Structure 1
Amino acid sequence: MIKNYIKIALRNLAHNKVYSVINIAGLTIGLTCAMLILLYVQDEASFDRFHPNSNNIYRVVYQSFNHGEEQNLASSGLLQGPRFRQHVPGIKSFVRVQDGYADFKTGSTIDGRSLLFVDSNFLSFFHFPIIDGNVASCLKDRHSVVITRNEAIKRFGTADAVGKVLMVREGEDFAPYQVTAVTENCPQNSSIQYNILMPIREKPDDQKNDENWFSYYLSTFIELEEHADPTVVRSQMQRFYEQDATATFYALNAKFGNTSKDVRIGNYLLQPLLDIHMSTTFAAQNGLDRASNPIYAYILSGIALFVLLIASINFVNLTVARSVRRAKEIGIRKAVGSDRRQLIVQFLGESFVLCAIAFLFAILLVQLLLPVFNELANKKLAIGYLIGGKLISAYILLFLLTGLMAGCYPALILSGYRPVDTLYGRFTLKGKGILQKSLVILQFTLASFLIIATFTIYSQFNYMVKADLGYNDQDIVMVSRNNITHQEAALFKEQLLRLPDIQYVAPKNGGAWSTMANMANDSSIRFAWETIDESYLETLQIALVQGRNFSADHPGDSVHSVLVNETFVKQAGWKDPIGQPVVFNFQNNKRYEVIGVIKDHHYASLDTKIQPQLFTMSNANPYGVFYIKIRPNTATRSLAYIEQQFKKFFPLTPYQYVFKNEANLKSYESEARWKRIILFGAVLTIFISCIGLFGLSVLSAEKRNKEIGIRKVLGASVQSIAALLSFDFIRLVLIALVVAMPLAWLAIGKWLENYPYRITPGWTIFGYAGGAVLLIAAVTVSYQAVKVALGDPVKSLRSE
């Protein structure tokens, strides 16, 4: 019986090639999307689960309160791990992880590499498989280093690297560090990523200094005892912290002049290791990497569901539309004794055969598209991920659901035909095809929604990368070198300016500095703190709106003068900012005076609101980066000269450069990636919707073949017939657009709230999106309509 069902199913697919190709293509694409998304979601959910004790590992995080504002810090300092371990029951062990950077020398080549500074028990606390070396002792010596397999092969040409020596910069010299262990490369689904591990830097007196409670720059992990209650442990941590650190907390605030009643000691919390990867409150940072946002998984899952649902809708619509052609077959089956249950099994069987074919094609397509998908989603998923108990179970469930979703309704409808009606040719579909039309509206609503979302994301992305930043980032080369003295910077700048192609050179502090200071009205402001010279504003073409710039003619500028931006002035509440004092508490209440106000500019990316910004020329602060403005179209010559001079002045520092505009663009990589993903999803949904619409138009034209012949004989033009056949479908697409637009308006409005600087979605976006959907649908339907309208009416009328 089953063999007979399969044979009939295959025969029907072979006899209806257009129908079969459309359904198989749609389901294949839908299943491919679903499989790829399952891979993505599985990878997201698997982060950090490879550690055997992952359920008992927590990161110590901090929630501070200042002037009524709550701030979440994923960082801790040197004291939290040792003191909590010593004084709080239930904590089995701790490990601290700090991201760092070091210069390595191999022969005459110097290269800078990121690394992690960790406690000596790091490799026994976490489960990173070790190839060679002693887990217990490999990080105990200060001059020991642990590297991964890839790092060992890169540096020594072999993974057998234990005992070999790496030269690591210490000050102006390079010291030998011995490789004491080699580990496997970090799994791609690990929040902790490293190539090099070195012992954490800690001075003998650091544990005695209570002020280190309030120095946050690393991550502290604790492992709880097997039966310890995290809630109880957290409350005991907080109790001990308040007992041990409250006096120091208020003493530090008094020292820095922060005596507001709104300031109170914060709370320590425990964040499960398995929550870190997709946390939006305490993200992966300070030695952790590959942070994600759960919204990405939701977006991708939504796209996969849309595509699979649209493909299933096509199946239902085309099967029901074809039902008239199978009416006699059903009547004969019933007349010779088939009951309804057998017919349902037959039609469901056909659905599963078709899904099985689509499933096989989908597996092949997944393998072909995986590299493209990895690039789109910023993942490193492998074909081997397809093989796994949970994933295979998920695929089987997906196959069964798709088969039932696509075949259940048509099977129930087709099996209910009355044999008398079908055999005497009196059969017609009841109703006005409300379900069929509703499904077309639904699939084009989904497709239109994604098209509108795509236009919105493109517009927002283009706005961000083309917006006026308040400065000119073109033709500016950025070259970094940590801890440059002002004297070194002046000599290097003087040498660079000897090349006529270099217009300006402006040194600036490296990294992002921030601090707080007091105003004359006893208020305090947190701000971005920059150290520059007098050329900075001119180099970046930042406008000065009040006062004057720093000047070499005013030697005192490097001692007591500052510039501030407009946002700083607004938050300080100054009406006349020039001459206003700014008191740096942590510099023993050193007083600075505002000499100028610069125009607000986007010194960070446009997904961050402009914050107060203050500039000094203080000789006590080192520089870390040079902004070098070159003449247009002189990059090759200028870069060669910059490199030559850099190596001459700083021979022990690796030379690297980046153009400022490229660095700015890189900050929008996430938006660019999701722009491509949404576009990809929109193209798929509109494509599957249109092939379904094409199939329906073919069947509709077949049903109205004689009507079209009569109309042509009576003088109807090709244009009028084509319009007649197309209108019913275009009307459904118009209804879908009317439904999709308000839904898309709400969704994109919510999404745009994430950006402080954003477009205002207007009718242009909706007009372009609606026009694109209508045009694509019209071309799809009109092709078949024109083809039928051009046919010979004699052929359609000569036989009844």
Structure 2
Amino acid sequence: MHHLLPAFLRRHALITLLNIAGLAVGIAAVLLMLAYVVAELRVDRGFTAADRLYRIATTLTVPGQGAMLAAGSAPQMAAPLMAEFPEVEAATRIHQDQVVLKVGDRPFEVPLLWADANLLQVLDYPLARGDAATALSRPDGLVVSPELARRLFGDADAMGRVVQTRDGTPLTVTGVLAPMAETHLDFTAIAADAARGPKSWARQTVEDWSQPTINTYVRLRPGVSVDAVRARLPDFLDRHNTLSPRLVKLALRLDPVGDIHLHVSALGDHKPGGDMAMLRILAGVALMILGVAVANYTNLATAQAINRAREVGVRKLVGARRRQLVALFMGEAMLLSSVATLLALALVELALPFFQDLLGRPLPPDVLRQAPLPLLVALTPVVVGGLGGFYPALVLSGYRPGEVLKGRAQPPGAGRMRAVLVVTQFAVSIALMIVTLTVHRQVEHARAADLGYRAGELYTLGRLPLGDARAATLKAEVARIPGVRSVSLTSLVPANQSRATLSIRPPEGAAGAGGDQRVPLAWFMVDEDFITTYGATLMAGSGTPTGWKPEAARPDGATEYALATVEATRRMGYAHPQDAVGRSFRFLDSDPPTRIVGVLADMRFRSARERPEALLFTVGGEASFLSARLTPGDQGGAVAAIDAVVRRLYPEVEHWRRGFAQDQIAALYAGEERQAKVFALFSALAIVLANLGLFGLTALTAARRTKEIGIRRVAGARAWDIAWLMTWQFARPVLVANLLAWPLAWWGLHRWLAQFAVRVDQGPGTFLAAGALALAIAAATVAVHVLRLTLAPPAGALRYE
């Protein structure tokens, strides 16, 4: 490869290596990010008739609470939909579940889809074994992924093998999936819904469509207008949805299946989706990194121009025309870019595992061979070489032979262009550093924000059917476990997606009381030990009366008890929390009164993106989660004992959500953490590339000013004076870059931070720190050459030619 380079490039090996390294890193960064972008854009795009596939989902709106997007729909909707919409070619349903499959005595917990018999004809996931048309038509049919087949049966043939669910229901393997492209659904097995017996859709009769428990997918006929179908959905819903609460407004949506991953964020989606806005940002950052690398090449090539002046003069004297010289130097740039592209491909292969870990998701093994990446790789030497080499080619080819031979050649305008490019490079680097630091600060700030309760040592477990007599036994047994301080049964835990809303008439004494006005609130159920277990702050009132027991929650005509947060009492119309204590309200006019016995500080159970909810907790009633406050220290024994009690009392429960509240809250910010890490990576690349270019520029400048430095030393200049002179020359562009980077970074971060209800201030500290760090790194880079020259004997410099 070395012998393929022109003689001039071989003679100046350091600058050539810097050029190749900078371009290779920039190209590798872009290829990695493009691979990620292509992988994200291809999710759910591989189905037959993918452009005609839609998920019918639900939007629920409660006055004052805004709209909630749910991924699901009512199980009973599919049949009337097919009957009344001739535009629908096929419809199918799935229910996402987590189940335990047993092979003999060995249990395996797997994500599974309960599905209609025609699922594989609508969402046609490919099969390696079995017939897609019949695999799920058997009432015990089961389709497994290749990975799950190996877990269950080892190297044995999976077809025809029988597994059992936890309750003993047999399932027979009727198909094995082929390796699949990425999809928005999270599963390793698909089972016929008929195997669920009493829980199957065929045996369900409830017509309340406000319970979107399953996913319904449709394939429209070719040529059908999607807008026409959407326009008919409201009337269809009104005619069939007769049992939903009138206070809850429902609407049906048609979500294109190919858009779900990147464009739809809905309750009930078990698998985290992508972020189109973040995808655009990261792609833009990768292109900026490539821009920094191209600017490096342009800078170094124009800085070298004076060294090639004599070569250009001689070529012109022997008849070379300017366009021939432009073609020569552009060819050199494309040759270097070709070498850099080959090196970049090797870097991508080495960095891909690390990059996947950074993103938190795997990329397809053949992602670099998926269109349009091979074409882009082939075009990279031409595009990058052309962008980086065009201006230097114009500069080099513009020398006049007479001036060259008289020794007065100077590259016209090249110095100003280099200054602009250096400023741009460092502006990108500084802006990325500011973004990295701010995103990290925001994540830490959101985690440390006051939650209104103590998340430490709080272990939560659910969802459980806690509506029967076993709930009291569960609570009592868990409370006796060593290491458990207190236990509470609730319908809400930290980081839970569940949302429940209601509207009440303002209690007596509140603004608006006595009229038809209703107050929308988020409504959940807790028990008498909620305040103690969660460490909630009681702002007013005494809480549940001493000696109250759950069985006394609703005797005929008796008063129920409720706890409200400060925001809830404000919504009710009370100026001070104390004013709400002792007031009563009714959910419905026929219900017994419910008395507010305590006002709690506002509590945050969800992400810091959302403002604190107006929460109303009724004391007593059905819950689905158990929360236990544990003693500090080694908590493994207490956790194991709690899980054992749950398994013994609820053997029919396939899967429950469990973990420490702090970990569940931290998971809310996993996306931002990944963003911070990716920005940190690209920020580091940008600063390294900018300083690679600065290193090369300093080397060339120092070489040209060797004799000047020797004369200054002989004339009495101190080494410190010369070091300051050269360092200041290269520090000025970095200082100017701050003036460009700061307002751009502030504007972008202001827009990003606006999505958080709790956010950090954009104080000057972060901006000054990033600017100072960039300046320090640049100064250290320049110092390598400056020290070498200033510490060398002056006599050697005066002999320099």
Letter in 2 for 1:34: V
**Counterpart position of 1:749:** 750
Q: Pick from 553, 568, 572 the counterpart of residue 558 of structure 1.
A: 553
Q: Is the 8 A contact 1:186 1:194 kept in 2?
A: no
Would the alpha carbon gap of residues 288 and 544 (structure 1) be closer, same or farther in structure 2, given more than 3 Å must change?
closer
Match status 1:233 vs 2:207 = no
**Counterpart position of 1:123:** 120
711-720 vs 509-518, which deviates more? 509-518
Q: How does 1:361-510 map to 2 (within 5 A)?
A: 361-431=343-413, 433-480=415-462, 482-485=464-467, 487-509=469-491
Q: 2:261 aligns to what SS in structure 1?
A: coil
Distance 1:534 1:115 in 2: 37
Q: Pick from 19, 34, 56 the counterpart of residue 23 of structure 1.
A: 19
Give the Å deviation of 1:107.
Answer: 3.9
**Counterpart position of 2:583:** 580
Q: How does 1:127-166 map to 2 (within 5 A)?
A: 127-158=124-155, 160-166=157-163
570-579 vs 536-545, which deviates more? 570-579
Letter in 1 for 2:260: I
Distance 1:436 1:79 in 2: 68
Deviations along 1:739-759, one digit per CA (max 9) or x if unpaired, are 111111111111100111101
Match status 1:542 vs 2:545 = no
Distance 1:786 1:91 in 2: 77
**Counterpart position of 1:270:** 254
Give the Å deviation of 1:432.
Answer: 7.5
Letter in 2 for 1:515: T
Deviations along 1:687-736, one digit per CA (max 9) or x if unpaired, are 10011111111111112111111110011111110000011111111011
Give the Å deviation of 1:320.
Answer: 0.6
Deviations along 1:80-122, one digit per CA (max 9) or x if unpaired, are 3322221123211111222223344444455544322222210
Q: Is the 8 A contact 2:341 2:377 kept in 1?
A: no
Would the alpha carbon gap of residues 400 and 525 (structure 1) be closer, same or farther in structure 2, given more than 3 Å must change?
farther
Distance 2:594 2:154 in 1: 55
Distance 2:211 2:647 in 1: 35
Q: Pick from 166, 189, 201 the counterpart of residue 196 of structure 1.
A: 189
Q: Is the 8 A contact 1:92 1:222 kept in 2?
A: yes
Q: Pick from 211, 214, 221 the counterpart of residue 217 of structure 2.
A: 221
Would the alpha carbon gap of residues 474 and 98 (structure 1) be closer, same or farther in structure 2, given more than 3 Å must change?
same
Give the Å deviation of 1:70.
Answer: 5.0
Q: Is the 8 A contact 1:460 1:759 kept in 2?
A: yes
Q: 2:782 aligns to what SS in structure 1?
A: helix
Would the alpha carbon gap of residues 418 and 772 (structure 1) be closer, same or farther in structure 2, given more than 3 Å must change?
same
Deviations along 1:125-178, one digit per CA (max 9) or x if unpaired, are 111112333433333444443322222221222463333332224xxx433233
Letter in 1 for 2:634: T
632-641 vs 44-53, which deviates more? 632-641
Give the Å deviation of 1:39.
Answer: 0.6
Distance 1:629 1:270 in 2: 43
Give the Å deviation of 1:663.
Answer: 1.8
**Counterpart position of 2:557:** none
Letter in 2 for 1:631: T
Would the alpha carbon gap of residues 470 and 371 (structure 1) be closer, same or farther in structure 2, given more than 3 Å must change?
same
Match status 1:595 vs 2:597 = yes
Deviations along 1:414-462, one digit per CA (max 9) or x if unpaired, are 0111111112212123348211111111111111111111111111011
Letter in 1 for 2:14: V
Q: How many residues align?
A: 773
Would the alpha carbon gap of residues 338 and 34 (structure 1) be closer, same or farther in structure 2, given more than 3 Å must change?
same
**Counterpart position of 1:96:** 93
Q: 2:464 aligns to what SS in structure 1?
A: strand
Q: 1:278 aligns to what SS in structure 2?
A: helix
Q: Is the 8 A contact 2:461 2:657 kept in 1?
A: yes
Match status 1:793 vs 2:786 = no
Deviations along 1:215-251, one digit per CA (max 9) or x if unpaired, are 3233222111112222223334444445x248x38x8
The TM-score with structure 2 as length reference comes to: 0.90
**Counterpart position of 2:39:** 43
Distance 1:117 1:287 in 2: 15
Would the alpha carbon gap of residues 67 and 643 (structure 1) be closer, same or farther in structure 2, given more than 3 Å must change?
closer
Q: 2:159 aligns to what SS in structure 1?
A: coil
Distance 2:60 2:469 in 1: 39
**Counterpart position of 1:519:** 505
Match status 1:618 vs 2:620 = yes
The TM-score with structure 1 as length reference comes to: 0.91
Q: Is the 8 A contact 2:486 2:529 kept in 1?
A: yes
Q: 2:300 aligns to what SS in structure 1?
A: helix
Deviations along 1:331-365, one digit per CA (max 9) or x if unpaired, are 11111222212211111111011111111110000
Give the Å deviation of 1:588.
Answer: 6.2
Q: Which runs of 5+ in 1 are unaligned?
A: none
Give the Å deviation of 1:294.
Answer: 0.7
Distance 2:397 2:470 in 1: 88
Q: Which runs of 5+ in 2 are unaligned?
A: 194-198, 507-512, 555-559
Q: Is the 8 A contact 2:69 2:266 kept in 1?
A: no
Distance 1:63 1:502 in 2: 41
Deviations along 1:52-89, one digit per CA (max 9) or x if unpaired, are 21011122244566548555444322243322221123
Give the Å deviation of 1:288.
Answer: 6.3
Distance 1:431 1:135 in 2: 68
447-456 vs 591-600, which deviates more? 591-600
**Counterpart position of 1:182:** 176
Match status 1:680 vs 2:666 = no
Distance 2:548 2:218 in 1: 54
Distance 1:340 1:320 in 2: 17
Give the Å deviation of 1:272.
Answer: 2.0
Q: Is the 8 A contact 2:110 2:187 kept in 1?
A: no
Would the alpha carbon gap of residues 134 and 525 (structure 1) be closer, same or farther in structure 2, given more than 3 Å must change?
farther
Letter in 2 for 1:224: L
Letter in 1 for 2:217: F
Q: Is the 8 A contact 1:606 1:755 kept in 2?
A: yes
**Counterpart position of 1:777:** 778
Would the alpha carbon gap of residues 113 and 597 (structure 1) be closer, same or farther in structure 2, given more than 3 Å must change?
farther
Letter in 2 for 1:558: A
Q: Is the 8 A contact 1:62 1:76 kept in 2?
A: yes
Distance 2:641 2:237 in 1: 55
Would the alpha carbon gap of residues 277 and 159 (structure 1) be closer, same or farther in structure 2, given more than 3 Å must change?
farther
**Counterpart position of 2:638:** 638
The sequence identity of aligned pairs, in percent, is: 28
Distance 1:56 1:376 in 2: 34
Would the alpha carbon gap of residues 509 and 106 (structure 1) be closer, same or farther in structure 2, given more than 3 Å must change?
farther
Would the alpha carbon gap of residues 501 and 234 (structure 1) be closer, same or farther in structure 2, given more than 3 Å must change?
closer
Distance 1:474 1:454 in 2: 28
Q: 2:567 aligns to what SS in structure 1?
A: helix
670-679 vs 39-48, which deviates more? 39-48
Would the alpha carbon gap of residues 529 and 157 (structure 1) be closer, same or farther in structure 2, given more than 3 Å must change?
farther
Q: Is the 8 A contact 1:367 1:383 kept in 2?
A: no
Distance 2:676 2:439 in 1: 6
